[in-house]
Amino acid sequence: MDSDTLNDSDDSEYSVEETAPNKVKNKRKYEDIPTDAPKTKKKSKNELYKPPTVEELNNLRETENLFNNNLFRLQIDELLTEIKIKTKRESALSKWLENFKQCIKKLPTKEIALLNLSNSKDKLYKYLTEQEKLFKTDQDVLLKFTKPEEIQSFGLSDNNCAPGPHLHHRINLTMPSSCFLSKDYSNNRYLVKRYYYLLFVSYYLKQSDLVANLKISRYENNHLLPVIELTPKGTDKTTVFILVTPVEGSFKPTRFLPEQNNCKTDLFDSDIDANVLKNTPTIFYNSLLAHDTTLYINNQFLKSLLEGQKNIQDGVKLLTVWLRQRELNVGVGSFTETILIHLIAYLTHKKKINKFMSSYQIIRNFWNFITTVDLSKEPIALGETSEESMKAFKQSYDIVVLDKTGCYNVASFLSADLYEKIKTESRLALKHLDDNRNNSFNNLFLTKRPFHLQYDAIIDLTESLPLEIDHDVKSQQKCSYIGYKDLLIYKHISDTLKRGLDKRIVHIVPRIEAKEGTATRLLFGLNLNPDEAFSFLQKGPALSDFERASEFRKFWGPLASDRRFKDGSTNVAVYFKTNTIKAKRGIVAKVLRYLLVDKLGLRCRIHYDQFEEFLLCKRLVPSYPSGTNEETCLKIVLASNELGKKLRELSVSLKITGVQGVSDAFAYSEIHPPIPSNFQISSFTSIKGNNFVMKCDADGVPRYVQPVESVLQLEHSSKWPNDLSAVRHLKTSFYLEISKQLETDGLLTHPSRDYLDVFYQGIVFRYKLFVPKEIGLSKRIETDEGLTSFKDSDESDDLELSLNILPKITGALRGIQSMYPSYGPGTCLIKRWLRSHLIDEYHVSDITIDLLNASLYLDENTASNTPQMSFLRFLKFASELDWNLQIVLVNFNGDLTAEEIAKVESEVQNNRNSYPNLFVLTPYDRYSSAFTRRRPSKEILSRIKRLAAESLDYFEKMLAGNSSIGIKELFLPNFEGYNVLIHLKPSMVPRRFERISYGTVDRKVVDKYKLSKDDRIPIVDFDPVRDYLEALRKYYGKYAVFFYDRYGGCTIGVLWDPKTLETTDFKVNKINGGKVIDGRIIAFNEDAVIEDFYVIGKDLVKSIEKRTVCK
Amino acid sequence: MTEESVQGFKILPLVFSQQSTSWHEILLKEHSVRHQDELKPLGQTLFILNVPPYACETGLRNAFSNVGNIKRVIFENAEDQSGDGFKRVFVVFNKREYLLKALKLTQLNPLSSDTQPIKIGVEKWIEDYNRSICDSEQLQQEVNTYMAQYDESKKQKPEEVVDDEGWTVVTKGGRRPGISRKESLANKLNEKTQKSTKKKELKNFYTFQIRESKMKNIAVLRKNFEEAKKKVELMKQARKFKPY
């Protein structure tokens, strides 16, 4: 073969025309080729176009019909495999269960009267007496112990519905009916028998070698439902819960319908009248008994329903993950797995779910059901139930989901408030599915939404546990709550809060964590209603409605007052006097304190607005009332509008048609907006024309005055010259023309080559002209053939960014601010935090932060009502942001269509390295992520991620009360780890007033601005520190990274690039910044460069500290 | 400070001022390249490497003030965005003997001298700021003169040029100026022709076309699937699917 081919090639090369056999040979050779070399090349294309198999077609079609999209399906599959319980774990458990059954079958038969228990010398009885005594009864009972009738496994894991990695297995042991007398259901007799039976089982389990660890805990946090919680030997990450219930037929389930009474004596020390008790239905007590009685039947029913339904099982798994991520299934009164599984059963029963549906459709239908059906109004039942008994249930419980027997309300203990929250969450989940975005799966299943990030305010009542509140409750109500008096107290607190907060809130959700039946942590989460939450008036009933008015007065105590309103009506009302927006936000906290502390006499901690302290500028305050930046920003916006009106009315050669703000102050996201004021001459300044200028030998600098920038648009004209420089000169002449006209109006102006400054109402406004032609011209390149082409250059991009894109973005951000007033101050808080950690404008620009936070506000899931929540949610977002995988979408007004977004997403994903590290997609910058083009760098992004995660972690610890230090630590920079620290002279830092103040500081009040003839335009936008950093980065950016807190920091941190410190062999292009050692090696000339830092920052640098860093 | 050299370069320390305690090592050598540049005449030009960022023309004249007259100083910086401020400098002396003298130097004067100080630090920034505050009259004047010049230069362009052989150049202007030669326009024209040819095609005429379009449909589905798979793979790598 080898020689053959050789011959062939020879032939074809040397003899062009040959005889037939040779041609045949040639042909064969030609055929050989495609099987060999180019196979790999064509593979990808062939793969796409090869005929599909039936299976593949089905799969593709199924994805289209049954799932959202490919990605969603794959993600579901991936998640399901990830949370699958390991087979190893499962088989270990089933092996253990066999042994367990053997052990249980060997249980001896014994009996003893309760009263004799303590006198007995039997080891078992001794053990029983040693245990905590949970229940009292009205009479002595005979405890009969024998092996259980049946051992039933149940729960999610048994039905293959439980997500891993931990395996929680539930077992139900049925006590034979011979253990009971017919009337044992009443007065705790059953409960006592059950409890001792449970202990009896636990005793023998402990004796056996099956158990690694065993304790008595409570089933689904119900303190009257003791359960054995044990870790089986020979398994890992496995927990087994053992419940004891009466065997079917021991009690009639109808005995526990809500109108029945099953507890005639006060066995729970509730201090109630026995006569009342006798005639009152014991609602929750009944539920408890009904639960036990029906457990076996219900389990059988559910098992038969879910058997082999893989998709439904997967759906339940997903929903459990969803609940768990939102912590909605934690604590007393939560949305338990029992409720979940019954609801799924109900949907199957009603044919809303069937086995042909995909898991995606199942979760979708579940959410749809929760969103559309209000269970608090429409009770549902799994079996046949008469209308009457439904009615009875509805009257007794908040939410009614009746089981198969129709006697047990599965949702008895579900708190109505939590249910409301679940409805909201379901609605959001549906929205996520409809949005069909890349990260909707992430948001639904993969990200944790811990309690403290779900609510605008959190009330922590843990300090006042155990709760003892005197409240006048009808003893009848007390009776119906017998056994569950804590529930009544929670309800009372929640009702009081709801009454006091009224329309201010949408949700108030309790979170009660309990251990062994006693509450260990009591929290309430509040979701505010942004329209009403901060209203300063709470109107009560009219004065004429005497009875209700006096009730209102009684409720509000000293806060209530009688008021006459503009429309002539007179009402009793609560009025909160406030003069700042911050104080308005504080009203909620005020109401809460009044209700909890003054009214209910509780000790509490409220997590609501602590962080706002960092928004205050304590060193420099305006003369008008102001809290955060909001008041000053408002003043600026108003002044800018007035001045803009003036500008538009000018008669200049081309009319000014638009004035668009571009400064952060317009979106309220400037933490230190310039305070309107008069400026006097100082020891640093002298006068030049309309302006102050610096004295050359000044030994300090005046405080920083930021210009408020806007872009001017002119009416269209075709007469702009075709030359860049000429256009720019014409722009200058426009500045001069506008300036002249404004001067005749008595305004102070300063036109310069690139902008026009106007001093108006104590604020410096800076205007720049937007001439579209200028951008076009700056892109023009003439090619060699004389063809004119337009190419984006850095210059043209920057120009377009600042004059065309930025105004649109700022406008859109203003829109967000007016929709969500917390946006501005929230963004400020983020900036304050990030800058505190020495990550300055250069690393992450202000506008980038604005956009990132805007992306959170444009998503209903993460839009916040308070600055603090905005900040915390940003931390969460930043700590989870996978900038390499996902783009940040800032879809203002929904301008971008889903197709556009998908296109950009896949484009970025496929060519990840040619796009910015952090890709921010907005409708205004032609998908270029214009603001993050050069930075942030990967290193900075990782650092932010780390910082955010740590800060959040710290905050969580603080919430849990484990941290002794305050939140101030979150805003303290860490100077460890830098190679060099440059200390600046504080007097030369113009932003020195913006530093965070700890403790008390000297306050300087800025006098109110008054129009005066002596006014001059102040030193504006002069910041030597900024200039210094600019120079450092320009000259040494390759060798080091510089860190600085822009808001008044006095120290610059320098970190050498690790490459800088390496030595290299001598090369001419490597010599920069180096020194030569031994005539052949280059080492970095560290000392000289450090001295350069000193030279460049002459008069600004106080000292430079070189640090040795241990690696 | 001992005299050192490496690969033909002479190494000399350069300090900013008399008070400086550390120095940069600059490398110098006679400028020699094949392509001659009028601005950097051979034999008179000194080529210097590793000149610190703040060195300016005055600074270098100070540094070589002992040598002799300097004709010009040419800086070659790295790109603006690179964050490397160290420069290559060409110092052109008036005479060759100065160059030779310079190469024999054992010590350089500081960049900033008392008589010719380099403005740096806060002083420089103050000066920059004060300069940015301009007088509107002056500015007006400046703009006016520029615009006058510009208009003048526009006018000077002859309306019609008749060359030696009697041809008239007719490009822009004229009664029918033709298409302007812009890239965007050329692209537009191309698109137009493409569109018109596409319009003439019949899409669902032959069976193979229908088959192909079906195939394409499947290909798109497959491609999406592959993309999604890739994404999930990436997420998997990032351990995204560990929900808790």
Are A26 and A98 contained in the same domain?
A: no
Contact A786 B228 (CB under 8 A): no
Contact A70 B125 (CB under 8 A): no
Residue type, A57: L
Q: Residue A640, Cβ neighbours under 10 Å: how many?
A: 22
Contact B122 A691 (CB under 8 A): no
Nearest chain B CA: its distance from A785 CA (Å) = 10
Q: Residue A430, Cβ neighbours under 10 Å: how many?
A: 17
Are A135 and A219 contained in the same domain?
A: yes
Contact A732 B139 (CB under 8 A): yes
**Which of B127, B129, B215 should one mutate to test binding to chain A, selecting the residue with the greatest count of A CBs within 10 A?**
B129
A493-519 CB burial, b ≥16 within 10 A, e <16: bbebbeebbbebbbbbbbbbebeebeb
Are A43 and A101 contained in the same domain?
A: no
Contacts of A164 in chain B (CB under 8 A): none
ipTM strictly over 0.95? no
CB A573 within 8 A of CB A538: yes
| Among B6, B123, B219, beta carbon nearest to A1066 | B6
Smallest Cα–Cα separation from A1071: which of B32, B157, B158, B27?
A: B27
Residue type, A33: I
Mean pLDDT of B24-30: 84
Which residues fall within 8 angstroms of residue A281, CB to CB, at 6 or more apart? A258, A259, A260, A261, A396, A480
Q: Hunting for tokens 């979106």 — which residue is that? A: A667
End-to-end CA distance of chain A: 63
Pairwise pLDDT comparison (A855 vs B35), residue with the higher score? A855
Contacts of A163 in chain B (CB under 8 A): 243
Q: Hunting for tokens 């004796």 — which residue is that? A: A207
Instruction: Report whether the peptide linkage leading into residue A1058 is cis, meaning its omega lies within 30 degrees of zero.
Output: no
Are A1004 and A1060 contained in the same domain?
A: yes
Lowest mean pLDDT among A316-320, A613-617, A715-719, A1071-1075: A1071-1075
User: What's the 3-state SS for A531-592?
Assistant: CCCCCCEEEEEECCCHHHHHHHHHHHHHHEEEEECCCCCEEEEEECCCCCHHHHHHHHHHHH
Contacts of A79 in chain B (CB under 8 A): 241, 243
What is the residue range of A482's domain?
Answer: 454-536+576-608
Contacts of B50 in chain A (CB under 8 A): 1071-1074
Nearest chain A CA: its distance from B188 CA (Å) = 13
> CA A1047 to CA A1045: how far, in whole Å?
6
Is pLDDT above 90 for A944? yes
Contact A1024 B52 (CB under 8 A): no
Contacts of B230 in chain A (CB under 8 A): 909
| Among A694, A729, A1072, beta carbon nearest to B86 | A1072
Are A994 and A1091 contained in the same domain?
A: yes
DSSP E strands in A44-166: the ranges are 110-113, 142-145, 150-154
Q: Which of A251, A283, A307 is the last residue of a domain?
A: A251
What CATH code is carried by the domain that includes residue A1058? 3.30.70.3030
Helices (H), A1011-1085: 1024-1036
Contact B50 A1073 (CB under 8 A): yes
Contact A79 B241 (CB under 8 A): yes
Are A132 and A243 contained in the same domain?
A: yes
Q: Which of A218, A251, A284 is the last residue of a domain?
A: A251
Contacts of A1024 in chain B (CB under 8 A): 122, 125
> CA A7 to CA A978: how far, in whole Å?
71
Contact B227 A906 (CB under 8 A): yes
Task: Note whether residue A128 is domain-resident.
Answer: yes
Could you tell me the sign of the dihedral formed by the alpha carbons of A286, A289, A292, A295, in that order? negative
**pLDDT digits 0-9 by tens, B47-56:** 888 888 888 8
Contacts of A880 in chain B (CB under 8 A): none
Q: Is A62 on the interface with B (CB under 8 A)?
A: no
Look at residue A851 in the predicted model and tell me its pLDDT: 93
Could you tell me the sign of the dihedral formed by the alpha carbons of A754, A760, A764, A767, in that order? negative
Task: Name the residue in chain B with its Cα closest to that of A1065.
Answer: B6
- Please give the structure tokens belonging to residue A944: 């932010």
Contact A446 B240 (CB under 8 A): yes
Contact A1080 B52 (CB under 8 A): no
Say whether A826 sits in a helix, a strand or coil.
helix
Say whether A806 sits in a helix, a strand or coil.
helix
Look at residue B207 in the predicted model and tell me its pLDDT: 86
Which residues fall within 8 angstroms of residue A33, CB to CB, at 6 or more apart? none
Is pLDDT above 70 for A48? no
Residue type, B156: Q
**pLDDT digits 0-9 by tens, A807-833:** 999 999 999 999 999 999 999 999 999
Task: Name the residue in chain B with its Cα closest to that of A1060.
Answer: B84
Task: Note whether residue A476 is domain-resident.
Answer: yes
Nearest chain A CA: its distance from B196 CA (Å) = 25
Contacts of B54 in chain A (CB under 8 A): 1035, 1092, 1095-1096
Task: Note whether residue A838 is domain-resident.
Answer: no
Task: Note whether residue A890 is domain-resident.
Answer: no
Look at residue A719 in the predicted model and tell me its pLDDT: 84
Task: Note whether residue A119 is domain-resident.
Answer: yes
Q: Give the sheet arrangement for strand A1081-1084, strand by strand.
A: A1064-1065, A1081-1084, A1074-1077
Task: Determine the longest span between alpha carbons in chain A, in angstroms.
Answer: 122
Q: Residue B210, Cβ neighbours under 10 Å: how many?
A: 12
Would you tell me which residues 1011-1030 of chain A have a C-beta closer than 8 angstroms to some C-beta of chain B? Answer: 1019, 1022, 1024, 1027-1028
Task: Name the residue in chain B with its Cα closest to that of A728.
Answer: B143
Whole-Å CA distances, A601 to A212, A604, B110: 45, 9, 77
Is pLDDT above 50 for B2? no
Whole-Å CA distances, A61 to A210, A903, B218, B225, B227: 50, 22, 10, 12, 17
Lowest mean pLDDT among A167-171, A400-404, A408-412, B211-215: B211-215
- Please give the structure tokens belonging to residue A379: 């009770």
**Which of B81, B224, B241 should one mutate to test binding to chain A, selecting the residue with the greatest count of A CBs within 10 A?**
B241
Task: Note whether residue A741 is domain-resident.
Answer: no
Task: Note whether residue A811 is domain-resident.
Answer: no
Nearest chain B CA: its distance from A267 CA (Å) = 42
Q: Residue A554, Cβ neighbours under 10 Å: how many?
A: 9
Angle, vertex CA B19, rays to CA B15 and CA B20, nearest 5: 35
Look at residue B6 in the predicted model and tell me its pLDDT: 74
Look at residue A46 in the predicted model and tell me its pLDDT: 64
Nearest chain B CA: its distance from A1102 CA (Å) = 12
Q: Residue B15, Cβ neighbours under 10 Å: how many?
A: 22
Are A109 and A223 contained in the same domain?
A: yes
> CA A111 to CA A105: how far, in whole Å?
17
Q: Give the sheet arrangement for strand A505-515, strand by strand.
A: A505-515, A518-528, A457-460, A605-607
**pLDDT digits 0-9 by tens, A349-400:** 888 888 888 888 899 999 999 999 998 888 888 888 888 888 888 888 889 9
Q: Which of A227, A251, A275 is the last residue of a domain?
A: A251
**pLDDT digits 0-9 by tens, B185-209:** 778 888 888 888 877 777 777 888 8
Q: For B121, left (φ over 0), alpha (ψ -120 to 50), or beta?
A: left
Q: Is A448 on the interface with B (CB under 8 A)?
A: yes
Task: Note whether residue A470 is domain-resident.
Answer: yes
CB A750 within 8 A of CB B133: yes
Whole-Å CA distances, A820 to A310, A578, A855, A889: 44, 20, 13, 18
Contact B218 A1068 (CB under 8 A): no
Contact A732 B147 (CB under 8 A): no
Contacts of A1035 in chain B (CB under 8 A): 53-54, 83-86
Look at residue A366 in the predicted model and tell me its pLDDT: 93
Q: Work out how many CB contacts closer than 8 A connect A with B.
A: 240
Average per-residue pLDDT in chain A?
A: 84
- Please give the structure tokens belonging to residue A485: 């008096």
Are A109 and A170 contained in the same domain?
A: yes
Mean pLDDT of A728-744: 90
Look at residue A995 in the predicted model and tell me its pLDDT: 85
Task: Name the residue in chain A with its Cα closest to that of B235.
Answer: A885
Helix B136-156 to helix A724-744 angle (10° resolution) is 140
Are A20 and A147 contained in the same domain?
A: no
Are A94 and A38 contained in the same domain?
A: no
Mean pLDDT of B141-155: 86
**pLDDT digits 0-9 by tens, A201-253:** 888 888 888 888 888 888 888 888 899 998 988 888 889 999 999 988 888 88
Pairwise pLDDT comparison (A470 vs A884), residue with the higher score? A884
pLDDT band with cut points at 50, 70 and 90 for residue A12: very low
Look at residue A11 in the predicted model and tell me its pLDDT: 40
**pLDDT digits 0-9 by tens, A1044-1096:** 999 988 999 999 988 888 888 887 777 788 888 777 788 888 888 888 898 88
**pLDDT digits 0-9 by tens, A163-194:** 878 888 999 999 888 888 888 888 888 888 88
pLDDT band with cut points at 50, 70 and 90 for residue A34: very low
Task: State how many domains chain A has.
Answer: 4
CB A168 within 8 A of CB A162: yes
Contact A1035 B54 (CB under 8 A): yes
Contact B50 A1071 (CB under 8 A): yes
Work out the percent of chain A whose per-residue pLDDT is above 90: 20
What CATH code is carried by the domain that includes residue A492? 3.30.70.3020
Are A33 and A176 contained in the same domain?
A: no
Mean pLDDT of A903-915: 86
- Provide φ and ψ at A1071, rounded to 5°: -75, -20
- Provide φ and ψ at A836, rounded to 5°: -60, -30
Are A140 and A211 contained in the same domain?
A: yes
**Which of A935, A985, A1076, A1101 should one mutate to test binding to chain B, selecting the residue with the greatest count of B CBs within 10 A?**
A1076
Contact B183 A1066 (CB under 8 A): no
**pLDDT digits 0-9 by tens, A616-675:** 888 888 888 888 888 999 999 999 999 999 999 888 888 899 899 999 999 999 999 999
DSSP A855-924: HHHTSTTT--SSHHHHHHHHHHHHHH--TTT-PEE--GGG-S-HHHHHHHHHHHHHTGGGS-SS-EE-TT
| Among A71, A83, A730, beta carbon nearest to B231 | A71
The DSSP H or E segment spanning A509 is strand A505-515
CB A499 within 8 A of CB A540: no
Contact A1095 B20 (CB under 8 A): yes
Look at residue A35 in the predicted model and tell me its pLDDT: 43
